[in-house]
Amino acid sequence: MVATELLPPDGDGPARAGELLRSGALVAFPTETVYGLGADATQDEAVARIYEAKARPRFNPLIVHVPDLAAARRIAEFDDVAERLAAAFWPGPLTLVLPARAETVSALTRAGLETVAVRVPAHPVAQAVLRAAKRPLAAPSANPSGRVSPTEVAHVLAGLGGRISAVVEGGRCTVGVESTIVGLAGRPRLLRPGGLPAEEVEACLGRPLATHEGGIVAPGQIASHYAPRGRLRLDAARAEPGEVLLGFGLVEADLNLSRSGDLTEAAARLFGCLHELDRHGVERIAVSPIPERGLGRAINDRLRRAAAPRQA
């Protein structure tokens, strides 16, 4: 156990976070998508601590966070398509998987792959932490493996308090689901739906994204991944006896992702609602149908995973 420091988003907070990160310690910080558990992506031991703290069962490649495009170009090779997407959507909730430049981030960060996932977050506190750290930061969501991603400081502390050196405060995450991941080593491919609607990426590229096929390296795909403790039943018109309804739109629901049927609001509230159901010890959760378009694709992806049969 370590005492987890709670750092302010301004004043000395980011500088203290930077110092801890350079020393190899773990620091959670807010991004516009979810809170990330940061480690210096150039130090294998620091990155190994991420797996230890999250009790993650296996090594997946991690997303490397940098403050701007210039820093991203130092760790990955950008072709015209990558430049176009970066110009359109960075900073923001888009991760690009690109050919890695040799020896810039540790092999463990990349899980030994020749490619690297890079993202420039828009959140001002994430930006301040990255600039103070002066290192690229590997940062998966700041939750124990297999649990719901954190969208506020209280979620981070509930899951990882005592296991990480510090958390930088930054209020509630506005996007609420992880970044959209697009693979650009080969034909542009949607590796994970997320906070940037895939349709916007396709409009920018002027052609549809391929979706993943069997065997693609997108380990966010472990079946049960974003799970609350309760069981979920999806596409439910109403709650059966013994169930609590997590609603969407104008339905009689115990908790509603968005009464007005707004997918952006629903994405932002998703993990918070699942945490709340956990806190109340709800065992059976029915979920209203969510349209499969825009952010609805990311929401349904997370819900389907949360509903998948549990791994031991």
Judged by the rule CB under 5 A, the positions of this chain that interact with Mg ion are 141
Alpha-carbon distances, residue 137 vs 126, 255, 273 (angstroms): 10, 35, 28
Strands (E), the chain: 5-7, 27-29, 36-40, 63-65, 94-99, 115-119, 137-138, 166-168, 180-183, 189-192, 210-211, 231-233, 244-247, 255-256, 284-287
**Among ligand TXA, Mg ion, none, partner that 34 touches (CB below 5 to 8 angstroms by kind):** ligand TXA
DSSP 8-state assignment for residue 250: S
Among Mg ion, ligand TXA, none, residue 33 binds (CB under 5-8 Å by kind): ligand TXA
In 10 A of CB 67, how many CB atoms? 21
* Phi, psi dihedral angles at 139 (to 5 degrees): -155, 95
| Residues binding ligand TXA (CB under 6 A) | 31, 33-34, 36, 60-63, 95, 97, 110, 113, 115-117, 119, 121, 139-141, 178-179, 181, 183, 191-192, 217-220
The minimum distance between CB 140 and ligand TXA, in angstroms, equals 3
Give the shortest CB-149-to-ligand TXA separation in angstroms.
8
**Closest separation in Å from C-beta 245 to ligand TXA:** 28
Place of tokens 């493996």: 145
Q: Which does 243 bind (CB under 5 to 8 A by kind): Mg ion, ligand TXA, none?
A: none
218 binds, among ligand TXA, Mg ion, none (CB under 5 to 8 A by kind): ligand TXA
* Shortest distance in whole angstroms from residue 210 CB to ligand TXA: 13
Measured from the CB atom, the residue of 179 and 288 that comes closer to ligand TXA is 179
**Structure token pair of residue 99:** 């050919």
Residue 79 contacts residue 135 (beta carbons within 8 Å)? no
Which residue number is nearest to Mg ion in terms of Cβ?
Answer: 141
